[in-house]
Amino acid sequence: MKDSSSLSISRRGLLAAFAATTVAAAPTFSNAAGFLRGGGDIRRIRMYSGRTGEKLDTIYWIEGEYIKEAVNEINMFMRDWRTSDVKKIDVRAIDIMAASHNLLDVSEPYLLLSGYRSAATNAMLRSRSRNVAKNSLHIKGQAADLRLASRSVNQIAKAAEVTRAGGVGRYTGSNFVHMDSGPIRKWGR
Residue 2 lies in a domain: no
Quick one: average pLDDT of 24-47? 55
pLDDT for 7: 40
Q: State the pLDDT at residue 39.
A: 35
Question: Looking at the 3D structure of the chain, how many domains does it have?
Answer: 1
* pLDDT higher than 90, residue 185: yes
Q: Tell whether the model's pLDDT for residue 52 goes beyond 80.
A: yes
165 or 36, greater pLDDT:
165
Q: Which of 41, 79, 88, 36 is nearest to 60 (CA)?
A: 41
Within-domain flag for 1: no
Of all residues in the chain, what percent carry a pLDDT higher than 90? 69
Q: Does residue 140 belong to any structural domain of this protein? A: yes
88 domain residue, yes or no: yes
- C-beta separation of 96 from 82 below 8 A: no
Query: According to the model, what pLDDT value does residue 189 have?
Result: 82
Taking residues 162-173, report their average pLDDT.
Answer: 94
Q: Residue 105, CB half-sphere, CA atoms under 13 Å: how many?
A: 11
Query: Which residues, in sequence order, are CB contacts of 149 under 8 Å at separation 6+?
Result: 108, 111
- pLDDT score recorded for residue 145: 96
> Per the domain annotation, does 3 fall within a domain?
no
Res 134: pLDDT: 83
Range of the structural domain that residue 54 is part of = 9-187
Query: pLDDT tens-digit profile of 105-145?
Result: 999 999 999 999 999 998 888 888 877 788 899 999 999 99
Tell me the pLDDT of the chain averaged across its residues: 83
Output the pTM of the full model. 0.78
pLDDT higher than 60, residue 16: no
Beta-carbon contacts of residue 108 (< 8 Å; ≥ 6 apart): 46, 148, 149, 150
Per-residue CA distances from 150 to 92, 111, 141, 147 (Å): 25, 11, 26, 9
Residue 4 lies in a domain: no
